[in-house]
Amino acid sequence: METKDVAKRSSQYFFAKIYATAMHVAGNFAIAKLFTVAGYGAYGFLFLILTYGASLHFGLENAFGKQYPVEIGKGSKSRADKIRDSSFTFSMMITLVFMLLIILFAVFYPSAEFEKRWAYILLAFTLPLQMLVEYYRTFFRVTKEFGRINVMEIIFGTFEFILRVAPVYYFVKISPRVEYALIGLFVGLFLTFFATILYAYFCAPEKISIRWNIPEVKKLYRLGIPIFICFLMDSLFKNGDKFMAFWFF
């Protein structure tokens, strides 16, 4: 029965992930068809910032995902909760700092065009929501709440497709204000993350607390940074061409 249950949960997660990925790819094709080459390039670079924004924990989330089940297995629920809350608190703090830096860049960057300036600001406000979504995914995984992960994937995939494509279509095909398409797209992404985190927050089996514990965070970094560096180096090599597009953005 246990083997059948594992196979069932794995297949459900597989199909939920495939659905979310298919919706993301379909959305990208639709946006590419609607945007100009320059517009899609601008979106691609900004989305790349959002992609790497999910890694602003610098290894804390990796350590949480690895160490939390270990402590639960030892019967040390209090230590597991401390790891969960401390990693969340410091990850959010770092993300908020980067959010403020991006907003300052958008406000004071002299040559930024109107739509790009607001796209940066919207992207900045999306970063904390993205961090929450990724954190809850990890939390549900380590607590074996795979059904909730599946629902998150379906919610995210559905909302991402609709709320990315609809504003771009409106501003490109219906309204003459094509310059607002990029802004509308990032409004859609913000709302997508917001809808997903609402579900995760209200369905979480336990509430995450704010907890400042520097000694614990130091231990987590020693565990998480090597994992994070491996991921980062692999990702940088894969996306090097996209970073080159920055010079043309």
Q: Tens digits of per-residue pLDDT, 136-165?
A: 999 998 888 888 999 999 999 999 999 999
DSSP letter at 173 equals: I
Res 4: pLDDT: 67
Q: Which two tokens stand for residue 22?
A: 């298919």
Res 242: pLDDT: 58
Instruction: Pick the closest to residue 34 from 182, 173, 183 (CA basis).
Output: 173
Residue 194 reports pLDDT greater than 80: yes
DSSP letter at 145 equals: -
Instruction: Pick the closest to residue 188 from 214, 158, 162 (CA basis).
Output: 162
pLDDT digits (tens, 9 = 90+) for 20-69: 999 999 998 888 888 877 777 777 777 888 887 877 888 888 888 888 88
Separation of alpha carbons 214 and 104, rounded Å: 28
Instruction: Pick the closest to residue 23 from 154, 152, 161, 150 (CA basis).
Output: 161
Res 67: pLDDT: 85
% residues pLDDT > 70 (the chain)? 88
Res 69: pLDDT: 87
Q: Where are the alpha helices (DSSP H) in the chain?
A: 2-34, 37-53, 60-74, 77-108, 114-142, 146-169, 181-203, 214-238, 240-244
Separation of alpha carbons 68 and 142, rounded Å: 7
Residue 243 reports pLDDT greater than 70: no
Query: Residue for token digits 């998150």?
Result: 152
Residue 99 reports pLDDT greater than 90: yes
Q: Which two tokens stand for residue 224?
A: 């998480």
Separation of alpha carbons 193 and 212, rounded Å: 26
Query: Residue for token digits 């794995």?
Result: 10
Please tell me the pTM assigned to this model.
Answer: 0.85
Q: Distances in Å between the alpha carbon of 175 and those of 170, 179, 181?
A: 6, 10, 10
Res 70: pLDDT: 87
3-state secondary structure of 207: coil
Separation of alpha carbons 244 and 249, rounded Å: 9
- Report the sign of the C-alpha dihedral through residues 214, 216, 221, 222, in that order: positive
